[in-house]
């Protein structure tokens, strides 16, 4: 791995495994910029108020300081737990409080936010401004992150998907190969766990705690790579053999995973992988940077990365797990200034800077940055796999009912892990709940 190009002021750990701490401590936190007014900006001493999710605090600080330096505009970034973004944005819009100019949102809520009037329709601006270069956005990211009923409500800033990381030494000790199918994944995990469980080493870390970014990601990883058809972001088809197989694969892997999956989120799993106690982990691509950091990793040069395994009828793909965009409040005090910030945050130059900054928590959103020499130099192994997977990544639900749909799925998958539901029952109950939500 190359030396990082810029050091973030955030603590040197990935957003995923610090998110639980950040979410608990960041509520209401305001980071206020103090840049001097620039002589070459009409905005002058104006203030731009930006709502940011806690997992993106590192990127938010960089955007704040760099935008202030470039424009002289004061930027106030309010950092809140990710599951409060939607509520705060809708309340701000519907109450007339107008606290925010720019809103970062988890892409699955784009339909809910648009329907509630919390995001401005920016279609005409995005289509007409050549500097945005919207064709350069990765298609698999741009559509789900920004579109609702044919209109554009934001621009991507972070393209998130999972790949498979593995411990080379553990694989070599146990004579196993990198799995290319989910059946092979289970067999590899079983071999490792049965051989080394007594020494505290397990075949995999299965993210199964009942939160969307954990149990939801684990399910959608399998659905995206097992289904012969692409996931429908309006209503993913759970009444299919592929959906049941995805849930069953989670159950089949559980006995050979770090105990117990229901208690394992990214904040528990990641330290175990970095300490050399886990053979495989499905995780966001920026794990590779931290695995090479000797201050936090005992597996420097001892890890590998590959696309997720696939099912009998599936293909190499992935799911858009997490993932962030920025939109503009309809009540922004200065719409043009808000547009300037959103364009800045999603630009090629900024995305390349963020994906080559340890601790930013940002992954590629553009074809040009996914393939850029700077990214390839910064993360050579991961960038190669990301280039294979990210253009084919598939979306979670993005309809106005998506937040409730995702919660229902998480609840039923947790009941499945508890032994209260079979994989078939978990899918049936979730599908019935989704149909009721859709009306």
Average pLDDT over residues 143-159: 97
- 221-236 pLDDT, tens digit each: 999 999 999 999 999 9
Q: Which two tokens stand for residue 218?
A: 């684990």
Q: Which two tokens stand for residue 19?
A: 């998110």
CB 383 within 8 A of CB 370: yes
Distance (Å) of CA 414 to CA 136, 168, 205, 207, 334? 39, 31, 16, 11, 45
End-to-end CA gap in the chain: 51
CB 130: neighbour CB atoms within 10 A? 7
Q: Would strands 29-32 and 74-80 be described as parallel, antiparallel, or unpaired? A: antiparallel
Give alpha helix (H) positions in 263-318.
266-274, 287-291
pLDDT band of residue 122 (cuts 50, 70, 90) is very high
Band of pLDDT at residue 45, cut at 50, 70 and 90: low
The proportion of the chain whose per-residue pLDDT surpasses 90, expressed as a percent, equals 85
Strand, helix or coil at 62? Answer: helix
Residue with tokens 């819009």: 93
Distance of CA 97 to the CA centre of its chain: 29
Sequence-ordered strand ranges (E) for 122-197? 147-148, 151-152, 155-158, 162-167
* Mean pLDDT confidence for 354-373: 93
Residue 163 CB neighbour total at 10 angstroms? 24
Whole-structure pTM value: 0.88
Q: Decide if pLDDT at 12 tops 60.
A: no
Cβ pair 426, 416 in contact under 8 A: yes
Tens digit of each residue's pLDDT (9 = 90 or more) over 125-135: 999 999 999 99
Q: Is 201 helix (H, G, I), strand (E, B) or coil?
A: coil
Confidence of residue 358 (pLDDT cuts 50, 70, 90): confident
* Residue that wins the pLDDT comparison between 48 and 289: 48
Q: Is the pLDDT of residue 328 over 50?
A: yes
Give me the pLDDT at residue 82, please. 84
Query: Could you give the 3-state DSSP secondary structure of residue 311?
Result: coil
Q: How confident is the model at residue 83 (pLDDT cuts 50, 70, 90)?
A: confident
- Top-confidence residue, 13 or 156: 156
**Which stretch of 2-11, 167-176, 243-252, 318-327 has the lowest confidence by average pLDDT?**
2-11
How far, in Å, CA of 374 to CA of 353, rounded? 9
Rg (the chain; Cα; Å): 21
The mean per-residue pLDDT over the stretch 161-189 comes to 98
Q: Residue 26's pLDDT is what?
A: 30
Name the average pLDDT for the chain: 89
**The total number of residues written for the chain in this structure:** 439
Look at residue 384 and tell me whether its pLDDT is greater than 50. yes
116 vs 436: CA distance, rounded Å: 20
Considering only 184-193, 242-251, 290-299, which range has the smallest mean pLDDT?
290-299
Answer whether residue 44 shows pLDDT above 80: no
Instruction: Tell me what pLDDT residue 40 has.
Output: 37
Tokens representing residue 241 in the block:
């053999």
Report the SS3 class of residue 117. Answer: coil
- Tell me the per-residue pLDDT of 23-42, one tens digit each, with 9 for 90 and over: 323 322 222 223 333 333 44
Please state, as a whole number, how many other Cβ atoms lie within 10 Å of the Cβ of residue 433.
19
DSSP lists the bridge partners of residue 105 as 325
CB 384 within 8 A of CB 417: no
Secondary element (H or E) of residue 393: strand 393-394
* Contact of 226 with 313, CB cutoff 8 Å: yes
- Residue 308: count of CB within 10 angstroms of its CB: 24
Kindly indicate the confidence band of residue 10, based on its pLDDT and cuts at 50, 70 and 90.
very low
Nearby residues of 110 by Cβ (< 8 Å), 6 or more positions away? 119, 144, 145, 146, 147, 148, 153, 154, 325, 327, 398
Report phi then psi at 184, rounded to 5: -65, -35
Q: Are 258 and 10 in contact (CB under 8 A)?
A: no
> What pLDDT does 99 receive?
93
Q: Are 234 and 398 in contact (CB under 8 A)?
A: yes
């Amino acid at each position: 791995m190359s030396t990082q190009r810029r050091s973030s002021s955030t603590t040197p750990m990935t957003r995923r495994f610090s998110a639980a701490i950040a979410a608990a401590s960041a509520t209401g936190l305001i980071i206020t910029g103090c840049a001097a007014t620039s002589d070459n900006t009409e905005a002058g001493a104006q203030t731009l108020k930006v709502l940011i999710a806690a997992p993106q605090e590192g990127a938010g600080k960089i955007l704040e300081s760099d935008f202030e330096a470039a424009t002289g505009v004061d930027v106030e970034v309010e950092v809140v737990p990710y599951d409060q973004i939607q509520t705060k944005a809708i309340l701000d819009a519907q109450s007339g409080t107008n606290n925010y100019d720019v809103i970062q949102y988890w892409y699955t809520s784009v339909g809910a936010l648009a329907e509630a009037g919390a995001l401005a329709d920016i279609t005409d601006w995005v289509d007409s401004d050549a500097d945005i270069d919207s064709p350069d956005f990765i298609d698999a990211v741009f559509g789900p992150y920004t579109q609702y009923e044919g209109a554009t409500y934001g621009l991507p800033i972070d393209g998130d998907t999972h790949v498979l990381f593995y411990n080379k030494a553990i694989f070599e000790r146990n004579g196993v190969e990198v799995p290319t199918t989910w059946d092979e994944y289970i067999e590899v995990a079983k071999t490792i766990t049965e051989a080394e469980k007594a020494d505290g080493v397990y075949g995999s870390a299965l993210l199964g705690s009942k939160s969307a970014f954990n149990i939801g990601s684990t399910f959608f990883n399998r659905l995206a790579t097992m289904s012969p058809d692409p996931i429908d972001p309006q209503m993913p088809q759970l009444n299919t053999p592929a959906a049941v197989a995805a849930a069953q694969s989670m159950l089949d892997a559980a006995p050979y995973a770090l105990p117990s999956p229901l208690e394992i989120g990214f904040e528990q799993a990641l330290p175990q992988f970095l300490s050399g106690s886990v053979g495989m982990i499905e995780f966001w691509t920026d794990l590779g940077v931290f695995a090479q950091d000797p201050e936090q990793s005992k597996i420097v040069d001892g890890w590998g990365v590959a696309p997720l395994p696939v099912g009998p009828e599936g293909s190499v793909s992935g799911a858009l797990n997490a993932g962030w965009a920025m939109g503009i409040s309809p009540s922004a005090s200065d719409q043009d200034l808000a547009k300037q910030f959103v364009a800045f945050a999603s630009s090629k130059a900024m995305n390349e800077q963020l994906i080559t900054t340890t601790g930013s928590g940002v992954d590629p959103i553009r074809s040009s940055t996914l393939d850029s020499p700077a990214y390839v130099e910064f993360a050579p192994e991961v960038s190669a796999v990301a280039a294979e997977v990210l253009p084919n990544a598939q979306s979670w639900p993005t309809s106005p009912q998506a937040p409730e749909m995702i919660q229902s799925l998480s609840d039923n998958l947790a009941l499945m892990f508890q032994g209260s539901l079979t994989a078939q029952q978990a899918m049936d109950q979730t599908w019935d709940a989704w149909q009721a939500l859709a009306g």
